[in-house]
Amino acid sequence: MSAILSVEHVGVRFGGLVAIADLHFDVAQGEIVSLIGPNGAGKTTAFNVMTGFLKPSQGEVRFRGTSLKGLQPHEITRLGLARTFQRTSVFPDDTVFDNVMIGLHRQGAAGAPGIGRAPVLDALLGRAGASERRLRERAEALLDWVGLSARAQEKAGSLAYGEQRLVGVALALATEPAMLLLDEPVSGMNASETRVFVRLIRQIRERGVTLLLVEHDMPMVMEVSDRIVVLNYGRLIAEGPPDRIRTDPAVIEAYLGQGSAARRAAAEAQEAAHA
């Protein structure tokens, strides 16, 4: 399998502080890969670099062979690399349905299938009816697919935490990505919600979407990932399938060196190994 995403010797510095020293790994087409590491290891920073929200101080990210250097977030999305956010994953004042309609922005762009050459002009002249109908149908289908149809007319900001995460996923899928980056998708979810989400992740992969996750929930990471990349202090310390990561001395060391939360995560990882 060929690499869809290559992180090539990326470094990020804020003033004198090194957030990522030298990060180098690939994600292959169709894989589910997790990026883990103790708090402050640079995981979210890495995500922000991959999606253009941060400019790396060194190195570059390549996606489907294209360098992402100097590209804006919206341009990266247009290449087929989508993401979700850890905390604010919805447009809070809009309905769930309108959230997805906003997410379908690119699907309504000039030159997209069934869309005219000047969408703003079409809207002004009242000629956008047909393309709007198509977008609405797609929004309905997407909501149905993630299981949020019953919530379509509710304000996204009023939804429960786990449901907002689903809206976030629907938004990202609305961009028709080839690859999806999920930033701590199950943090704050209970066990049954997490199980549902794991199934959703697998179904997203079945749609042909490659996945990269940042996640703290070790049992979930061990269950869902094909491969795990471990970061500590902005450096890659281990990389491999879940079985190997579980027993990797460097990984255990990294987690034990941290506070109690990290130790608990490490213990959970061990538990998951024995389960």
List interacting residues with other proteins (CB under 8 A).
Answer: 14-15, 17, 19, 51, 53, 72-74, 77-78, 82-85, 88-94, 98, 101-103, 105-106, 108, 119-120, 123-124, 126, 128, 132, 135, 144-148, 150-151, 154, 160, 162-163, 166, 168, 171-172, 174-175, 192-193, 196, 199-200, 203
Minimum CB separation from other proteins for residue 73, in Å? 4
Cβ 103 to other proteins, closest distance in Å? 5
CA pair distance 245, 239, nearest whole angstrom: 7
Q: How far is the CB of 233 from other proteins (least distance, A)?
A: 14
Q: Which is nearer to other proteins, 8 or 53 (CB)?
A: 53
Q: Transcribe the chain into DSSP letters.
A: --EEEEEEEEEEEETTEEEEEEEEEEEETT-EEEEE-STTSSHHHHHHHHTTSS--SEEEEEETTEE-TT--HHHHHHTTEEE--SS--S-TTSBHHHHHHHHTGGGGSTTSTT--S-HHHHHHTT--HHHHHHHHHHHHHHHHHHT-GGGTTSBGGGS-HHHHHHHHHHHHHHT--SEEEEESTTTT--HHHHHHHHHHHHHHHHTT-EEEEE---HHHHHHH-SEEEEEETTEEEEEE-HHHHHT-HHHHHHHHTS-HHHHHHHHHHHHHHH-
Minimum Å gap between C-beta 134 and other proteins is: 11
Decide whether 109 or 267 has the Cβ nearer to other proteins: 109
Nearer to other proteins, 53 or 270 (CB): 53
Alpha-carbon distance of 256 to 172, in angstroms, equals 35
d(CA 180, CA 257): 31
> Based on CB atoms, which residue is closest to other proteins, 67 or 153?
153
Give the nearest distance from C-beta 109 to other proteins in angstroms: 8
Whichever of 3 and 102 has its CB closer to other proteins, that residue is 102
Minimal distance, residue 124 CB to other proteins, in Å: 5
Shortest separation between residue 269's beta carbon and other proteins, angstroms: 25
Nearer to other proteins, 79 or 237 (CB): 79
Q: Which is nearer to other proteins, 59 or 73 (CB)?
A: 73
